[in-house]
Structure 1
Amino acid sequence: MMKNLLFGIALSASSIFTSCHQTKAPAPYGPVPSENQMRWQEMEYYAFVHFSLNTYTNQPWGYGNEDVNLFNPTELDCRQWARICKQAGMKGIIITAKHHCGFCLWPSEYTEYSVKNSPWKDGKGDVVRELANACREYDLKLGIYLSPWDRNHADYGKPAYITYFRNQLRELLTNYGEIFEVWYDGANGGSGYYGGADENRTIDRTTFYDWKNTYQLVRELQPNIVIWNDGGDRADLRWVGTEAGFVGETNWSLLNAAGDVPFNMLHYGVENGDSWVPAEVNTSIRPEWFYHPDEDAKVKTLPQLMDTYYHSIGRNGTLLLNFPIMPNGLIHPNDEKAALEFSKAVNEAFAVNLVEKAQVEASNVRGNAGKFAASKTIDNNQITYWATDDGVTKASLTIDFGKPILFNRFLVQEYIRLGQRVKAFTVEALVDGKWKELAGATTIGYKRILSFPTVEAMQVRFTITDSKSCPVISNIGIYNAPQILTP
């Protein structure tokens, strides 16, 4: 009798072991993000600050001949910038270290056109240094914008300029600690001062900068960095084709490694692209990037900022929101107020995840293994996920709250370390005994948020109707966001 019992226990244990051993994780499908891209994606929200000589001339861009004596931000306080960004929920700050006019916010040894020849701090100041110190104090990451186009430099358009550009890049990437992102603007060539030539110069932006070797230098100096570039060789991140604050409703984090990238590819990604190049949504809290006094009453409203949130972070992108710095060196109070109200509204909208006490079941679980169970979508763990068997590209999760609840937001995330897969899905609620579709969408990616009119229901069904491969879903959230009234 005992012998049979022991044999049964051993057989049962062996079956469990074999089942677990046989249920392998899904293989990656298509391109996947690098560790640098994952860290960047998880930041979600960070700041731009635009500040240069044209801040003092009330122009959108500098020409390259502006007097360095104009630069004298008597109240400059990078700690104020960092404090506001931290309180606003941002994770980093990217500074326009050099914009198109060529004026440098750090004392570059390769040009006289910098803060070292301005009256500010008697030429002893360094805005980039002060911001780097402030970011360190407030636990924010630092990013660098360095304009490839330089309307001041005499050698722009000539091979010698590339050496100059890389020398400045080396200064910025070696003297200020870890840099999370470097940003190369797409504006390249045109009229400018160019050391007094005062002429128009054109370049081939796909070849002039020799991006391949420039990227190699960047990665040698900053191994953990991501590169944003709007022209030439494909970088780590992509523009979305607009500065209005939104990316496409369909948003694949993919492009092809070579070839032109028209608007449709920038805005929607490329479904079968061969490279992981996710979308960064950049926009300003005001109409323009640099400070203009007549825009003090034109700061984006809370409803506008919330729309930007849902159409950037809520559509598988990150959000890079700009603060134009005033001539005195501070962020305007109106901008601060708007950013903090925005942060408060986002926190309130996603304060309570209603699925935390719910029960969830799946139409299919990979190998019927617990490590891929439906419950992995509501365990508040980003590295666990629900997965289906190979070949199962249509599947559903049913979430039961146990009682009727009110809700109006649905959040879902793929485990993108294994690739972006989902092509279409729906969200339904069981209302009066019948399933009612609340919303439908295409891609998910790192994070997708759907908004719909408030509904009361006891069950929600999330159905993947099309996927490139077996879906891997890491997180689901259901929320009842407060109504925001348009003023």
Structure 2
Amino acid sequence: MMFITSNKYIALITACLILVLTDRLYGQKNIPLPKKSQLVWQDAELTALISYDLHVFDGKRYDQALNRITPIADYNIFNPVKLDTDQWIRSVKDMGGKIAILTVTHETGFALYQSDVNPYSMKALKFQDGKGDIVRDFVASCSKYGILPGLYIGIRWNSYYGVYDFMVHNDNSPFAKNRQQYYNKLCVKMTEELMSRYGELAMVWFDGGAHGPELGGPDILPVVEKYQPNIIFYHNTQRADIRWGGSETGKVNYPCWGTYPFPYSHSTNQKEIFKNDFQLLKEGDPEGKYYMPAMSDAPLRGHKGRHEWFWEPGDEEHIEPLENLMDMYYGSVGRNSTLILGITPNAEGLIPDPDVNRMKEFGMEIKKRFSSALGRVSGKGSNYELRLKSYQKIDHLVLMEDIVNGERVREFSIEGKTRNGWILISEGSSIGHKFIAKFDQIEVSALRLNITKSIAEPVIRDFSVYNSSGN
């Protein structure tokens, strides 16, 4: 029999009492925790979706409804004579992006790599004598410039194979069943090629979801998990590691929680998810049992009523102004979401100069506003004070939880010490990965963060303050 000495016994009882008191103080419960890949995703903050497909080369305006049902007459229109994936990825890096995602296939069904199972791929082209592989070049460029690569695999629509909303036909004839089985196997084999050939990938994106076998679609998840165990998987009715933020505006609502009530984003439970203009997708659920942060997506060419994910001639006036991009940044990264900006190479194979320049301006403006903190603190607990060297002008502050421990904060306020005393600067509920407050310039000598409600001891990764104007 083992005996506990009196000192050890007292220490054990004390530890138990501390745990009980902590639980009562914070109402601690099981907190959903992010996977390593989800931490990478949220730390990236800015990502790019590079959209490229055959209809970039047809000289016409992109018509999604028509393209989903109309095969391209001649796939050899694909001829990017100045193709330079290094230039693509440099533009992503200049923006400050950390992840780039390439559309390997989209609605035409054409595959931008050397597929052994899909003849409708770069093997069929006259371009580069049928030996080109844009996925290979893209991944190599990402490695060269320190950007994490991701792949977008569009299998929901395929005009070449006559697939619409995952299905090849809407009847139960033997012909339709055989064609569906063939298409499902093709999707599985293509996924296997893409997951196994190009090294470690940060993300795979099946747009619109990917019907699993329970809905008559391909069983792709086991293939992805076999070859890419650390990947962000988005998404099907079996798994979703992130969720769509409910719009293509590049912004989410506030608050936007990183937790969610369902294990899938929006492939199931659609009555609940789609009501109130996708409110659940936009805001998440602080009581959600699953960690599933939101992404905010928007095309760079989305100004003046346009919304273009693919290059079209004469469309430069629709590049978002810098102030619009910064508004997206505050409404996504500043609200605990990751921003995906859609960019597209032109028919020559280059990101056009006006797009490149705007992306660079965007990155420079973010650095200008947030690269030089006037002060910062971090730590554990509910109260923090940030003292400045003297009275200084400020107009931004940033809060970050250490979300390795999950999202714990539920209510907070921030005060600033002016020459006339303490004033309220900002308050809110969700912090998560990052909360950014922008306000009229004030002069303070100190700031206080008061966390008034949390579900466990708060762990603050960063509480920092800035003067974006420098004046």
Amino acid at match of 2:145: Y
Residues 46 and 93 of structure 1 are in contact (CA less than 8 Å); yes or no, is this contact kept in structure 2? yes
Counterpart among 442, 465, 476 of residue 463 in structure 2 = 476
Match of 1:264 in 2: 279
Residue 225 of structure 1 and its aligned partner are, at CA, apart by 0.5
> 1:11 aligns to what?
none
Rounded to whole Å, the distance in 2 between the matches of 1:308 and 1:187 is 25
Partner of 1:80: 87
Q: CA deviation at 1:187?
A: 7.6
Contact 2:109-2:155 at 8 Å conserved across structures: no
2 CA distance for matches of 1:205 and 1:339? 40
Question: Judging changes above 3 Å, is the alpha-carbon distance between structure 1 residues 88 and 21 closer, same or farther for their aligned structure 2 residues?
Answer: farther
Equivalent residues in 2 for 1:25-44, closer than 5 Å: 29-44=30-45
Deviates more, 1:290-299 or 1:407-416: 290-299
For 1:227, the aligned partner's letter is F
The reply on whether 1:238 has 2:250 as its aligned counterpart is no
Please name the residue that 1:209 is paired with.
217
Tell me the amino acid that sits aligned with residue 47 of structure 1. Answer: A
Distance of 2:355 and 2:445 partners within structure 1: 41
Partner of 1:163: 185
2:113 to 106, 111, 116: 106
Whether 1:251 and 2:241 are equivalent positions in the alignment is no
- Pick closer, same or farther for the CA change 1:139–1:23 going to 2, 3 Å: farther
Whole-Å separation in 1 of the counterparts to 2:214 and 2:208: 11
Distance in 2 between residues matched to 1:403 and 1:205, nearest whole Å = 64
User: Which of 128, 145, 149 is the matching residue for 1:142?
Assistant: 149
Residue 411 of structure 2 is aligned to residue 424 of structure 1: yes
Partner of 2:185, secondary structure, is: helix
1:97 aligns with 2:91: no
Q: Which residue of 2 aligns with 1:301?
A: 321
User: Aligned-pair distance for 1:107?
Assistant: 2.1
Q: For residue 472 of structure 1, what is the amino acid of its counterpart?
A: V
Partner of 1:45: 46
- C-alpha distance in 1, partners of 2:462/2:454? 17
Is residue 2:339 matched to residue 1:333?
no
Shift, 1:22, TM fit: 9.6
What is the Cα deviation at residue 34 of structure 1?
Answer: 0.9
Match of 1:386 among 380, 387, 407: 380
Partner residue of 2:393 out of 406, 414, 417:
406
Q: Which secondary structure does the structure 2 equivalent of 1:137 belong to?
A: helix
Indicate the residue corresponding to 1:182 in structure 2: 204
User: What is the match of residue 298 of structure 2?
Assistant: 283
Displacement of 1:151 in angstroms is 2.4
Partner secondary structure for residue 346 of structure 1? helix
Q: In the alignment, is residue 354 of structure 1 matched against residue 374 of structure 2?
A: yes
In structure 2, distance between residues paired with 1:220 and 1:243: 32
Instruction: Report how far residue 227 of structure 1 moved.
Output: 0.8
Alignment partner of 1:173 is 2:195: yes
Change in CA separation of 1:266 and 1:206 when aligned onto 2, cut-off 3 Å: farther
Instruction: Using the TM superposition, give the Cα deviation of residue 399 of structure 1 relative to its aligned residue in structure 2, in angstroms.
Output: 2.1
Q: Separation in 2 of the partners of 1:290 and 1:209?
A: 27
| Residue in structure 1 matched with residue 177 of structure 2 by the alignment | none
Is 1:122 aligned to residue 109 of structure 2? no
Letter in 1 for 2:51: H
In structure 1, distance between residues paired with 2:196 and 2:331? 35
Task: Judge conservation of contact 2:104–2:113 (CA < 8 Å) in 1.
Answer: yes
Deviation string for 1:153-176 (max 9, x for gaps)?
A: 257432332211010001111111
Name the amino acid aligned to 1:400.
R
- List per-residue Cα deviations over 1:108-134 (Å, max 9, x = no partner): 122221222122112111111111111
CA shift in 2, pair 1:19/1:401, >3 Å: farther
Q: Distance in 1 between matches of 2:427 and 2:330?
A: 15
Instruction: Verify the 8 A CA contact 2:387 2:447 in the aligned structure 1.
Output: yes
Counterparts in 2 of 1:103 and 1:449: CA distance versus 1, 3 Å:
same
Give, in angstroms, the shift of residue 47 of structure 1.
1.3
Alignment-mate amino acid for residue 162 of structure 1: N
Q: Deviations over 1:40-69 (max 9, x none)?
A: 222222211000011123324434510211
- Three-state SS of the structure 1 residue aligned to 2:198 is coil
Does structure 1 conserve the Cα–Cα contact (< 8 Å) formed by 2:118 and 2:186?
no
- What is the alpha-carbon root mean square deviation over aligned residues? 2.7
What is the Cα deviation at residue 28 of structure 1?
7.6
Aligned with 1:131 (options 138, 143, 147): 138
Using a 3 Å threshold, how does the CA distance of structure 1 residues 206 and 283 change in structure 2: closer, same or farther?
Answer: farther
Indicate the larger mover: 427-436 or 288-297: 427-436
Deviation at 1:306, TM superposition (A): 0.8
Query: For 1:457, what is the secondary structure of its paired residue?
Result: strand
Comparing 451-460 and 83-92, the one that deviates more: 83-92
- The residue that corresponds to 2:363 in the other structure is 343
Q: How does 1:360-371 map to 2 (within 5 A)?
A: none
Quick check: 1:68–1:114 contact (8 Å CA) kept in 2? no
Map of 2:230 onto structure 1: 224
In 1, Cα distance between equivalents of 2:71 and 2:128: 22
Q: Equivalent of 1:322, from 339, 342, 348?
A: 342
Q: Distance in 2 between matches of 1:218 and 1:342?
A: 34
Residues in 2 aligned to 1:346 and 1:450: alpha-carbon distance in whole angstroms:
14
Name the CA distance, whole Å, in 1 between partners of 2:468 and 2:17: 42
Distance 1:146 1:137, change over 3 A: same
Q: 8 Å contact 1:54–1:60 — kept in the other structure?
A: no
Q: What SS does the corresponding residue of 1:462 show, helix, strand or coil?
A: strand
In 1, the alpha carbon distance for the partners of 2:136 and 2:428 equals 45
Three-state SS of the structure 2 residue aligned to 1:461 is: strand
Deviation at 1:248, TM superposition (A): 1.4
Could you tell me which runs of 5 or more consecutive residues in structure 2 were left unpaired when the two chains were aligned: 1-9, 169-179, 303-307
Q: What is the CA-CA distance between 1:139 and the residue it aligns to? A: 1.7
Within 2, Cα distance between the matches of 1:126 and 1:153? 21
Task: Give the length in aligned residue pairs.
Answer: 420
Identity %, equivalent residues: 29
